[in-house]
Structure 1
């Protein structure tokens, strides 16, 4: 018997990562508008970290049916990354998927907490001047050090990194920023 997620669990998984793929190398939006104004497109999937049934990838016989279909055993992914994690069980281990989930939830929270401060910094005169010159600025906000380094390419995207210290470990997240909309997309995460 397969332990499927409830619609509410799927919705919680999607909302906790801002409707973005939890693969930190993807972070693709998974929801958007349809032509019909009363409907939306969803290309996201609630994937099981440990398999929903015996014989599936990463199956754990030691967890109960309730644990298997709980939010703690789920990860929100785009369709491509959902297929990807089910194509190589050794590469996409339980611990890696749990790490992706944790990083994606932290990134979504950081977007909520830091966006107005970040946008204000980008719009300040000194920061703008630094961006124009291609140099960098650094600012400390709480336990987070935000370093800015602009790289201009043919599409005029800006690349920015943030270093956040968690439990004694520093994680560097690199974002690509659209200079017109200000939208940020994670392009990579690594230990700093």
Structure 2
């Protein structure tokens, strides 16, 4: 039996959050008015917190008394975040999505999302923007190391697909995720008070903390090899772009982390302040 939300439930989910993606770090506005067609269009989805069908993400964790297709089991996400949370349940557990939903609904009630949120009183946006860029720069060597691993493996190949994670990449992820003396709080040199940046930074720290618990990132583990076997799937709406789907859980989690780093980097490069934020319609194929 296929499960899908009723139109009334979908409407409730998107209006309860003001049509913004419920992921706090993303917050993309998902409704756009098409002037030519005089229609409102949505770049968002009503996603199941606990998967719709057997085998789907978090399906077995549905709380007692919840309806599979009820509003309580739905969350409004942009298309990108929806795809990510469904492709890697280990990085996006149900209780996290529940917290996202609650935060987004409360934020909307207060009129508080990306387009009109106030920055910290002591924040200097230009200084915080530079600190956020330095934050990304510190992660970049790990991203390049991961890319070197999977880019050397031919798509759909089943032979010679194992590559070792470099000690530098391991150290960066473990430090970022709390395995070292990262100290992720307002005393850290890259901490930002502009919440547009801080939410993204906190999300990357969260993901790194999960990655650092994987066996491949254990310092004592001499065998840090990961199976990078993958297939390349063309984007339906982005010509000359594609995404990779990995066979191994660790490789898939690392790839998602890379995608999030690139999304934050794009966000910083396009940032125009809390009163105006433009999203590029064209994304270069970095994946």
TM (norm. structure 2) is 0.42
The answer to whether 1:80 aligns with 2:80 is yes
Counterpart Cα distance in 2 of 1:49 and 1:173? 29
Specify the alignment match of 2:275 in structure 1: 182
Q: Is the 8 A contact 2:3 2:69 kept in 1?
A: yes
Deviations 1:46-69 (A, max 9, x none): 000001112211013766897111
Q: Is the 8 A contact 2:50 2:62 kept in 1?
A: no
Specify the alignment match of 1:168 in structure 2: none
Specify the alignment match of 2:90 in structure 1: 90
What residue ranges of structure 1 are gaps of 5+ in the alignment?
119-135, 137-145, 156-171, 186-192
Counterpart Cα distance in 2 of 1:7 and 1:150? 43
Q: Mapping of 1:38-49 within 5 angstroms?
A: 38-49=38-49
Specify the alignment match of 2:26 in structure 1: 26
Aligned pair count? 140
Structure 1 residue 86, shift from structure 2 partner: 1.0
Specify the alignment match of 2:151 in structure 1: none
SS at match of 1:60: helix
Closer, same or farther: CA 173–73 of 1 in aligned 2, 3 Å = farther
What residue ranges of structure 2 are gaps of 5+ in the alignment?
130-192, 198-270, 279-287
Q: Is the 8 A contact 2:31 2:43 kept in 1?
A: yes
Deviations 1:76-132 (A, max 9, x none): 0000001000111111000111111111112212216xx99x6xxxxxxxxxxxxxx
Instruction: Name whichever structure is richer in helix by fraction.
Output: 2
Q: Mapping of 1:105-144 within 5 angstroms?
A: 105-111=105-111
Counterpart Cα distance in 2 of 1:7 and 1:108? 21
TM (norm. structure 1) is 0.60
Closer, same or farther: CA 87–173 of 1 in aligned 2, 3 Å = farther
Counterpart Cα distance in 1 of 2:111 and 2:44? 20
